[in-house]
Amino acid sequence: MNNALLLKLHRWISLVFAIPLIAIIFTGLILSVEPIIQNRGLPAGMADADRLTGLLQRYDPAAKARGLAINASGQQMRLLGVNAPVIDLATGEAATASDPVGDVLLWARRTHEHLLGHDWLVIASTIAMVVIMGLGVLMGWPRLRNSLSGWHKGAAWFTLPLLLLSPITGLFMVLGLTLQGNPPPAAATLPLADAVRAIAQSHDVAHLAMIANRGGRMMARVYEAGELRAYTFTAQGVTPLPRNWPRLLHEGNWSALIAGSLNVVVSVVLFGLLATGVMLWSRRKLRRRPQSAAKTRDRTAATPA
């Protein structure tokens, strides 16, 4: 397969998937900062086991909530699976104002994962991204020049491992490939209030991100030293789950500051590559049109009347 054909495939796959890729990359850029923001946790003294269980009793007296999610940046808590208001953790009352940062992150996550309900398009675009990168590799080492094309090729090659890691780990998540060992046996599902008390015995709930039933087991996710660790509740107590490396790498939750910053870089480079690729294609098209028009005029002028 020659380079001309590889380049044509590389270019046209990029153009066909340009719009969904822009949406995925842009929302990925927004989500890259989420670990950095949420890792800071709640202010000291704002949350402990007694306060959280008291709020559960107040806003979910029937104990029907499937879980809770804490937004540290907005200092708010949501109860999952029940019709309860968003709770302002600073006052303990129903939140009267929206959290702009949390709302943007929630919108970005839904769009990034579902693209307005078109999950198949997310998967197809992610596969297309891997194919585009693979075609770029097959075209061989670039000639680095101080030009738009040179910068396009140089940026792609120098960041290639990071660029490939993002869509590949995303596909692992879609396919349910966690690379985890066997998780510890789960205990019977705990009432949510009991789970809060259990996690508070060994962890600072100011850094608690969520407690929820996932796959038939009660799980908790807590930020620890920059990493979002997952725990389950067993007969022995709160037990760490094996690390889900594809998710940690993709979301940047293995080290909030370092991984989050790297994901920002990856998103910026991907957006730059897509933009410069479209610009290069547009230049070629615009360059050909005047030449074609000039040839048409020359033929017309040479035709005898």
pLDDT digits (tens, 9 = 90+) for 225-284: 999 999 998 878 899 999 999 999 999 999 999 999 999 999 999 999 999 998 988 888
Query: For residue 22, what pLDDT band results from cuts at 50, 70 and 90?
Result: very high
pLDDT band at 129 (very low <50, low <70, confident <90, very high): very high
Q: Is 134 helix (H, G, I), strand (E, B) or coil?
A: helix
Chain center to CA of 169: 10
Percent of the chain with pLDDT over 70: 91
98 band by pLDDT with thresholds 50, 70 and 90: confident
Phi, psi (deg, nearest 5) at residue 212: -160, 160
226: tokens are 């920059």
What pLDDT does residue 144 have?
80
- pLDDT confidence of residue 237: 85
Q: Which alpha helices (DSSP H) does the chain contain, by range? A: 3-16, 18-32, 34-38, 49-59, 100-114, 119-138, 148-158, 160-175, 192-200, 245-251, 256-302
Asked if pLDDT for residue 215 goes beyond 90, the answer is no
Higher pLDDT, 33 or 45: 33
Report d(CA 105, CA 102) in Å as an integer.
5
Backbone φ and ψ for 105, nearest 5 degrees, come out as -65, -40
Hey, which residues does 71 pair with through a beta bridge?
A: 76
pLDDT value of residue 290: 58
- Average pLDDT in the 58-68 region? 94
| Structure-block tokens of residue 216 | 């038939």
Mapping DSSP to helix (H, G, I), strand (E, B) and coil, where does residue 184 land? coil
Please say if the pLDDT value at position 191 is more than 80: yes
pLDDT of residue 142: 79
pLDDT attached to residue 148: 87
Q: In whole angstroms, how far apart are CA 233 and each of 97, 190, 195, 254?
A: 34, 8, 8, 22
pLDDT for 186 beyond 80:
no
| pLDDT at residue 286 in the model | 74
* Largest separation between any pair of C-alpha atoms in the chain: 98
Pick the residue with more confidence: 298 or 109? 109
Query: What residue ranges do the domains of the chain occupy?
Result: 1-41+98-179+246-305, 47-89+182-243
> Percent of the chain scored above 90 by pLDDT?
69
Report the C-alpha gap between 211 and 275 in whole angstroms. Answer: 40
The answer to whether 246 and 178 are in contact (CB under 8 A) is yes
Looking at residue 178, its pLDDT comes to 86
In this structure, of 91-95, 108-112, 142-146, the range with the lowest mean pLDDT score is 142-146
As a whole number of angstroms, the distance between CA 36 and CA 29 comes to 12
Tell me the β-bridge partners of 222: 208, 229
φ, ψ dihedrals at 218, nearest 5°: -80, 130
Q: Are 231 and 218 in contact (CB under 8 A)?
A: no
Number of other residues whose CB lies within 10 A of the CB of residue 59: 18
Most confident of 139-148, 161-170, 230-239: 161-170
User: Does residue 53 have a pLDDT over 90?
Assistant: yes
pLDDT tens, residue by residue, 285-299 = 777 665 555 555 555
